Amino acid sequence: MTVGNHDAVEVILTKRDGHTLSTSQIDWMVDRYTQGAVADEQMSALLMAILLNGMDRREIADWTAAMIASGVRMDFSSLSRPTADKHSTGGVGDKITLPLAPLVAACGVAVPQLSGRGLGHTGGTLDKLESIPGWRALLSNDEMMAQLESVGAVICAAGDGLAPADKKLYALRDVTGTVEAIPLIASSIMSKKIAEGTGALVLDVKVGSGAFMKDVDKARELAEVMVALGTDAGVRTVALLTDMQTPLGYTAGNAIEVAESVEVLAGGGPADVVELTLALAREMLAGAGRDDVDPADKLADGSAMDAWRRMIQAQGGDPDATLPVAREEHVVTAPSDGVLTRLDALSVGIAAWRLGAGRERKEDPVQAGAGVVWHARPGDAVTAGAPLFTLRTDTPERFDRALAALEGGYDIAAPGTSYTPGPLVIDRVGAQE
């Protein structure tokens, strides 16, 4: 890392005027900001200049490297099996990590899955797992390594030591209108994933109303930048662009998504959740050099479920415990006979959030049992008066705002209307040779 000697105004002016930042300027700015020597106001100005003027591939790689250098790097080379990880850009009903990590472990690849909490309408993996009695998200590095060797999968919170610059920058981007800058999104995700030390990485870049990226071209651009960053850092990286116009499965919440994930591990579950879990598993296995194993076999023979049970038990959870159930529920019935032709992921996500499944601020608690169950997916016939949604919460005063979120969030066409679903996996982005 070449920190050099600069001043913040010089760096800001360079990017403001549309020029490229040198490696030395980037190293200096990220290092000094992490140390508290560059003020929030100055970094805010630089972030806005990056949003407006962009960065080239070398600048993004340098920015990512500087964020990695702000903290520790993990090393899994002592494990007896290869490692692969998955990162999702977030969606509604996106419980894929839960069945995916034990499934890939059952295929002989270790999965060090450092996950986060939900904010806004996208659910957090750790919040979901914490609905299992006794399960804990915080593990020491030694505990994590031991569990990866013995079980093959761990889903836990990232320690403060990984890319601490990202934590500061993420909070600042949130309050300065610079969240959407692709160089900053890509470096935020990839600095943590590269520092995590995994050998192969599969990115699930969501596209659609319930996703961070609404537009497929922007999503593809983000995927290409992240794949390039991973590849340049020596991590075998691939991205799938996947549909998030419609929420995944039939549930959005915490405990109810765990229950649906267990159905998948038991060999059942919603077809779309199974399809995406297997698609991502195959990419992870290929990246780790184990594409000789078919993950579908491990769902069918129960070994993925066995790995799930061991993973939950290793982190203090009881895989046989009864999951929390919300105290109150409200059923929304179909207003007419017909065919459900649209179910808007964002509307469902906001409804689940308003019921208490998500949080507005990082420090807010979540309700384990809150969320939305939908009883039909696009293409299904519905009957007037039959349940369309079940809303669940411990605090019934939340129902009205959740119902408001669902208004206009679905369409029912005349009986017999034909419906052709779009692909779940829209595109694949691999390393450019």
Which residues are known catalytic residues? 87, 166, 173, 188, 192
Q: What is the 3-state secondary structure (H, E, C) of the chain?
A: CCCCCCCHHHHHHHHHCCCCCCHHHHHHHHHHHHHCCCCHHHHHHHHHHHHHHCCCHHHHHHHHHHHHHCCCCCCCCCCCCCEEEEEECCCCCCCCHHHHHHHHHHCCCEEEEEECCCECCECCHHHHHCCCCCCCCCCCHHHHHHHHHHCCEEEEECCCCCCHHHHHHHHHHHHCCCCCCHHHHHHHHHHHHHHCCCCEEEEEEEECCCCCECCHHHHHHHHHHHHHHHHHCCCEEEEEEEECCCCCCCEEECHHHHHHHHHHHCCCCCHHHHHHHHHHHHHHHHHCCCCCCCHHHHHHCCHHHHHHHHHHHHCCCCCCCCCCCCCEEEEEECCCCEEEEEECHHHHHHHHHHHHHCCCCCCCCCCCCCEEEECCCCCCEECCCCEEEEEEECCHHHHHHHHHHHCCCEEEECCCCCCCCCCCEEEEECCCC
Both tokens of 418, joined, read 């034909």
Lateral strand order in the sheet of 338-343: 381-382, 338-343, 410-413
